[in-house]
Structure 1
């Protein structure tokens, strides 16, 4: 598909993509999954306040053990960390908030924001950057 758009062979595209992987420019590829179609109805964001910023790495390691947390960022502003979480239902979200997050040493408190709808999600247009 890229080859057709760029008027080069598929093999050329394959070689260039392989080089970009080796250089670390491309970290991987993803499928865009319709989460509701596979039973995940709750997407939320959790603002996490840490007792001390020096606890970030230890807390991040503990959060990595919770498979429903799909993205974690170290942030400036109100929160120390900002996590994206995907759950099957509000009960699963409540369980994670009460049973898992509350027992992680270093988390002072959290604020949860539930997404009602994703308007769009798009990758950066690489052709304009390079």
Structure 2
């Protein structure tokens, strides 16, 4: 494998694409005709541009964001995972994927091999998840858990 296979190429987007992205990332439900008015082009042009952005992977679909607290998920934690051996990475990720409360999973450099985000209903729910599910996964040597007290902000990457 040569080095170029590891590098993600930046998409070729122009100023109109950037303007469209700024509008649709602020409000995924904005009508294309409103985007067209803001951009000074036709609705068909916006539709074609958005479809192209989807096809080249700049954006992917659209989604509704669920507020975890409104569903009773009041505990947010992050966990750094140390593996017994690096070869356990894939099987640990497969096991983590089966736990619905694990909502993000990252393969990382540094102190931890894997870093996950967990959303549970209570601290007791988190403790049970750690004791009964996470600590039982073969290949995990040890973990370190960090409780989130409050999320100050979350945002998308800047569109320039």
Mark yes or no: TM-score above 0.5. yes
SS at match of 2:119: strand
TM-score computed with the length of structure 1 as normaliser: 0.89
2:104 is aligned to 71
1:16-47 per-residue CA deviation (whole Å, 9 max, x = no partner) reads: 11112222222332323322112110111010
Larger Rg: 2
What is the CA deviation profile of residues 45-86 of structure 1, one whole-angstrom value per residue up to 9, with x for unaligned ones?
A: 010000111211110001000011111000011111000111
Match in the other structure for 1:52: 85
Partner of 2:117: 84
Equivalent residue in structure 1 for 2:64, among 27, 31, 46 = 31
Which range is displaced more, 12-21 or 43-52?
A: 12-21
Higher normalized strand content (fraction of residues): 1
Structure 2: gaps spanning 5 or more residues:
1-29
Alignment gaps of 5+ in structure 1: none
Does structure 1 residue 106 correspond to structure 2 residue 122? Answer: no
TM-score by length of 2: 0.73
SS of the residue 2:133 aligns to: helix
Distance 1:121 1:72 in 2: 17
Q: Who is 1:17 aligned against? A: 50
Aligned residues: 127
RMSD across aligned positions (CA): 1.5
How far did residue 3 of structure 1 move? Answer: 2.9
**Structure 2 SS opposite 1:40:** coil
Shift in Å at residue 103 of structure 1? Answer: 1.1
State the Cα distance separating 1:115 from its structure 2 match: 0.4
Q: Secondary structure at the match of 2:80?
A: strand
